[in-house]
Structure 1
Amino acid sequence: MSEGFGNNDQVEVRRVAITGIGVIAPGEPGRDAFWSLITSGGSAVRRISQFDPSSFRSQIAGECNIEDDGIVIQEFGDGEDLSAVDRSIRLAVAATDEALGDAFDSGYETCSTSDRIGISYGSAVGASQRMVELYDHFTDGGKYWRCPLGDKNEALFEGLLPSTLGACLADRYHVNGPVAIVSAGCTSGLDAVGQGAAMIQRGESHIVIAGGTDAPLLPITVASFDAIKATSPSNKKPEEASRPFDAKRNGFVLAEGAATLVLEDLEHARARGAHVYAEITGFARTTNGYHMTGLDNEGAELADAISKALLKAGIKPEQIDYVNAHGSSTQQNDVHETEALKKALGEHSRHVPISSIKSSIGHSLGAVGAIEIIACVLAIAENLVPPTINYEIPDERCDLDYVPNTARRAVINGALSTASGFGGFQSAIVIENPKRRDEII
């Protein structure tokens, strides 16, 4: 099964511009700090500080250096206090404030009650942190099965619903248009941006707030990944634990974060004199129906998603100048992705620079796909490929150019970002320099 968007011969579609970006990634907050970290070869992975991880197999994570009271707290909607919502929503708000401030001089006040403004946001585990905290509080650490009835525990219900994220963002930014929440595991952030672009192409919105967020650093999440041995146990040297495509990789590093992109109809953006960073020109997703957590080594479904995204963008593999790989640092995924790139890009796969920024910031589940799209946008803007750090020992099964350890200068007019998630979800998106796109069209 596959799905995507892009140009075709029958229907003229609107072009999708990226006019604002905001990032709250592991390390210091903000897009400038994020870009500096991933291009300098730094790492934001450390021992978990949000709770005592001593009893767990994997005790490390990519943590954002931003306390809850460091995220702007304002009342929104009917006066609800932002401090009462889950950290994942607060991270999303911080990223979105930055993105809208980047796109519009007046920030989020630009988003009025227009029904042409929409939201498409992704999250893998939603407001689980707040829900667990509240349940623990109201049941005296799980001593009671049922919470006592009362107004103060209604937030438990809000924590249960993935739509709470969309409702909070819509309230804060005065959005009355379409709001969609995507929860497809680790592809959620990328899928939400692709879906937001499709909303513009179909004419549903002329501006879409798109991105992904997750704050999964709590015991139950760490325990869940421990149970299937998906995360790295390299606790003694946290900054070296995430090592995509390296022969000694032993699992991914859990992380938190959020990223927002302001997507806009290109004609609308140019009419108001907006700065256009890049365009989203192709998106596709597939599923493999293979296994809940396992992957085969062939990469056929991811290759199919990549090929469809290129087809919808109307470009050849040779026009991709950089691949931002999912590169999770698990044994299975990195082999699977390498094979998929070979199938989809052919001989070009051996020449194009490929890197995984998860080596620096870890894997923030439903957020990381959106964060990686912003890495592509900045790579196009700066003509700089961020490296895959901690790459020391080549794996004969992963034999492409992974830009080891040091950033590389390159002319980047077209970038490809991929995502792969438990359950067999496979996604790909194409981001291009608008000047080249003008020439193509």
Structure 2
Amino acid sequence: MRRVVITGLGVVAPGGVGVKNYWELLTAGRTATRSISFYDASPFRSQVAAECDFDPAAAGLSPQEIRRLDRAAQFAVVSTREAIADSGLDFAALDPYRVGTSLGSAVGCTTSLEREYAVVSNGGRKWNVDHESAGPELYRHFVPSSMASAVGRAAGAEGPAAVVSTGCTSGLDSLGHAVDLIREGSADVMVAGATEAPISPITSACFDAIHATTPRNDDPEHACRPFDRTRSGLVLGEGAAVLILEELDSAVRRGAHIYAEIAGFAARCNAYHMTGLKADGREMSQAIDAAMEEARLAPEALDYINAHGSGTKMNDRHETGAFKLSLGEHAYRTPISSIKSMIGHSLGAIGSLEIAACALAMEHGLLPPTANLHEPDPELDLDYIPLVAREKQTDAVLSVGSGFGGFQSAMVLARPDRSL
């Protein structure tokens, strides 16, 4: 089986554009959550989010790209360019038909669609919308596949291309799909990751309706509190992470800098409930077990877990149970943290942002903390890292995701020189 490694990273995230700024924020335990500034959020139950301070022109996008691309697509293109530069690959010298694209997104071009609908409907007052008022890029915003096309164009990739949309596990599942394409021989290099720009009135309304987001509006900086006794819901975020994936032997031959191998991946659906999770964590545990088996790793080999850690009580109980089921006693010896405490929950993008964080944690021997974890919930009795980053060399790490609709995904990163 062809083995797949990460050789390039690109990030747009709350708190900073670029991998360097992203990693500095995470390891400092700084939060990027704040009161929503993109629109008047006062009518909504939850009025906080983790917004990106993103200037598309300063990030290198042309006026044509800025007009043509939705905010989420802009994030993806900027991240792609950074990842390509980081990889050291000469994409112009590659066979373009052997370079593919796999991009995750839960809600597509929400920002542009909502803005354009307001125009063609005269602020929602016209049932029969005025198509002549529509911008020329409206259809591009209507189809999420346009974002994969934009990434492919930025990379000169003419091989397999897809958008993976499985809710909040999209960012893990898109990487899993990319790994499969390289393993089966359909591609040699994949530009893969996820992007999301969901912070808009329609998104606020959707999450308010199910009471998933926190009402802690008076203290935005500390609003997201995974594993804390006082947690009250998730905080929306936005951003993108794009990774360059290639076959291990090829990367070694060209002397590439290798962050980690994607050694195992698995996804499951609980076929149970749109938002509900069983406290024992069995659904997530099954995905973890399958990913660990594919990676040929025993539970004792895991050095760190990047938790889903959304800040909801149901999720915290579910994944704590899952870790105990899958790892047994080793679960109590494995450090765990949630970066959503700092950058919010960017829905479909978060899984790829978390994998980027895991790769950087392996690179630097430093585990990001869980911000705002001041009063640990006594029901959650594992080693959740509070407040301050922890130094630890890691050879194998696990990242998990859980999405509304019953989606559960798990991915294992490992050093490629480990013994198999």
Does TM, scored on the shorter chain, surpass 0.5?
yes
Contact 1:281–1:313, Cα closer than 8 Å, also in 2: yes
Counterpart in the other structure of 1:95: 79
Q: Deviations over 1:11-63 (max 9, x none)?
A: xx101010000111111111111111111111000111111111111111011
Paired with 1:152 and 1:172, the residues of 2 have a C-alpha distance of 26
**1:423 has 2:411 as partner:** no
Q: Secondary structure at the match of 2:193?
A: strand
Paired with 2:379 and 2:125, the residues of 1 have a C-alpha distance of 50
Paired with 2:127 and 2:388, the residues of 1 have a C-alpha distance of 52
Counterparts in 2 of 1:145 and 1:337: CA distance versus 1, 3 Å: same
Paired with 2:313 and 2:150, the residues of 1 have a C-alpha distance of 38
**1:19 has 2:22 as partner:** no
Paired with 2:241 and 2:65, the residues of 1 have a C-alpha distance of 22
**1:197 has 2:179 as partner:** yes
Q: Secondary structure at the match of 1:68?
A: coil
Aligned amino acid, residue 17 of structure 2: P
Q: Deviations over 1:158-205 (max 9, x none)?
A: 222121111222223221100011000000001101111111111111
Q: Secondary structure at the match of 2:243?
A: strand
How far has the Cα of 1:67 moved from its partner? 2.5
Contact 1:18–1:262, Cα closer than 8 Å, also in 2: yes
Contact 1:131–1:155, Cα closer than 8 Å, also in 2: no
Counterpart in the other structure of 1:226: 208
Aligned amino acid, residue 48 of structure 2: I
Counterpart in the other structure of 2:386: 404
Paired with 1:38 and 1:215, the residues of 2 have a C-alpha distance of 20
How far has the Cα of 1:294 moved from its partner? 1.3
Contact 2:84–2:155, Cα closer than 8 Å, also in 1: no
Counterpart in the other structure of 1:295: 277
How far has the Cα of 1:152 moved from its partner? 5.2
How far has the Cα of 1:236 moved from its partner? 1.2
Q: Secondary structure at the match of 2:417?
A: helix
**1:159 has 2:147 as partner:** no
Counterparts in 2 of 1:205 and 1:151: CA distance versus 1, 3 Å: farther
Q: Deviations over 1:355-397 (max 9, x none)?
A: 0001111100000100000111011111111111111222232
Contact 2:80–2:154, Cα closer than 8 Å, also in 1: no
Counterparts in 2 of 1:169 and 1:146: CA distance versus 1, 3 Å: farther
Contact 1:20–1:262, Cα closer than 8 Å, also in 2: yes
How far has the Cα of 1:150 moved from its partner? 4.2
Counterpart in the other structure of 1:217: 199
Contact 2:305–2:397, Cα closer than 8 Å, also in 1: yes
Counterparts in 2 of 1:142 and 1:341: CA distance versus 1, 3 Å: same
How far has the Cα of 1:110 moved from its partner? 3.4
Aligned amino acid, residue 183 of structure 1: S
Paired with 2:85 and 2:158, the residues of 1 have a C-alpha distance of 20
1:285 equivalent among 250, 267, 272: 267
Q: Secondary structure at the match of 1:434?
A: coil
Counterparts in 2 of 1:156 and 1:145: CA distance versus 1, 3 Å: farther
**1:247 has 2:217 as partner:** no
State the Cα RMSD in Å: 1.5
2:321 equivalent among 339, 342, 348: 339
Contact 2:120–2:134, Cα closer than 8 Å, also in 1: no
Aligned amino acid, residue 18 of structure 1: I
Contact 2:299–2:327, Cα closer than 8 Å, also in 1: yes
Paired with 1:138 and 1:149, the residues of 2 have a C-alpha distance of 6
Paired with 2:191 and 2:118, the residues of 1 have a C-alpha distance of 33
Q: Deviations over 1:412-440 (max 9, x none)?
A: 0100000000000000000011232xxx1
Counterpart in the other structure of 1:375: 357
Counterpart in the other structure of 1:10: none
Q: Secondary structure at the match of 1:336?
A: helix
Paired with 1:35 and 1:350, the residues of 2 have a C-alpha distance of 26
Q: Secondary structure at the match of 1:232?
A: coil
Counterpart in the other structure of 2:155: 173
Counterparts in 2 of 1:42 and 1:388: CA distance versus 1, 3 Å: same
Paired with 1:377 and 1:220, the residues of 2 have a C-alpha distance of 34
2:97 equivalent among 95, 109, 115: 115
**1:389 has 2:377 as partner:** no
Counterpart in the other structure of 1:329: 311
Q: Secondary structure at the match of 2:285?
A: helix
Contact 1:135–1:156, Cα closer than 8 Å, also in 2: no
Aligned amino acid, residue 330 of structure 1: T
Q: Secondary structure at the match of 1:70?
A: coil
Single out whichever of 257-266 and 80-89 deviates more from structure 2.
80-89
Single out whichever of 81-90 and 211-220 deviates more from structure 2.
81-90
Q: Aligned pair count?
A: 420
Unaligned ranges ≥5, structure 1: 1-12
Aligned amino acid, residue 93 of structure 1: V
How far has the Cα of 1:132 moved from its partner? 1.0
Q: Secondary structure at the match of 1:291?
A: coil
Write the mapping of 1:176-187 to structure 2, written as runs, cut at 5 A.
176-187=158-169
Counterpart in the other structure of 2:25: 37
Aligned amino acid, residue 141 of structure 1: G
Paired with 2:89 and 2:409, the residues of 1 have a C-alpha distance of 33
Unaligned ranges ≥5, structure 2: none
Aligned amino acid, residue 83 of structure 1: R
Paired with 1:155 and 1:113, the residues of 2 have a C-alpha distance of 30
Counterparts in 2 of 1:146 and 1:84: CA distance versus 1, 3 Å: farther
Q: Secondary structure at the match of 2:148?
A: helix
Contact 1:112–1:173, Cα closer than 8 Å, also in 2: no
Counterpart in the other structure of 1:68: 56
Aligned amino acid, residue 50 of structure 1: F
Counterparts in 2 of 1:112 and 1:140: CA distance versus 1, 3 Å: farther
Paired with 2:412 and 2:82, the residues of 1 have a C-alpha distance of 23
Q: TM-score, normalised by structure 1?
A: 0.92
Aligned amino acid, residue 59 of structure 1: Q
